[in-house]
């Protein structure tokens, strides 16, 4: 069987190799960039990057895999998760979190 090159490009995605640059004009520290890559049924699949710093968030239902970087995410109940490549995390809609990023972090998410 031959492979259609147009179709193959939509099947192969290298999220760790994407060159994504935060919007430096945005008045935020840390800066984030969200890049939707594709979807599957009602799930968005994408890459999220964040520069070092501290950020608070209210989460949506999400599963993510850390691809690069280091930091931690702390939850309202006092628990926290250390973030490093290979860590898989499940967030629940409504979770209030504090992200402390030590090294630029990239995650692959499903939300």
- Which of 3.20.20.150, 3.40.190.10, 2.30.29.30, 2.60.120.10 is the CATH number of 5-110? 2.60.120.10
Q: What is the pLDDT of residue 86?
A: 96
Cβ atoms of 31 and 51 within 8 Å: the answer is: yes
CA distances from 24 to 12, 27, 51, 103, 106 (A): 29, 8, 11, 17, 17
Segments making up each domain of the chain, as ranges: 5-110
49-105: per-residue pLDDT in tens?
999 999 999 999 999 999 999 999 999 999 999 999 999 999 999 999 999 999 999
Tell me the average pLDDT across 27-37: 81
Answering whether pTM is above 0.85, one says no
């Amino acid at each position: 069987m031959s492979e259609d090159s147009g179709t193959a490009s939509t099947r192969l995605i290298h999220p760790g190799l994407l060159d994504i640059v935060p919007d430096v004009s945005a008045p935020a520290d840390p800066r984030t960039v969200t890049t939707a890559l594709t979807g599957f049924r009602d799930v968005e699949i994408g890459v999220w990057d964040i520069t070092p710093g501290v950020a608070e968030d209210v989460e949506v239902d999400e599963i993510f895999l850390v691809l690069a970087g280091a930091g931690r995410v702390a939850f309202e109940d006092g628990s926290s998760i250390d973030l490093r490549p290979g860590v898989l995390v499940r967030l629940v809609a409504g979770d209030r979190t504090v992200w402390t990023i030590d090294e630029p972090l990239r995650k692959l998410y499903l939300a």
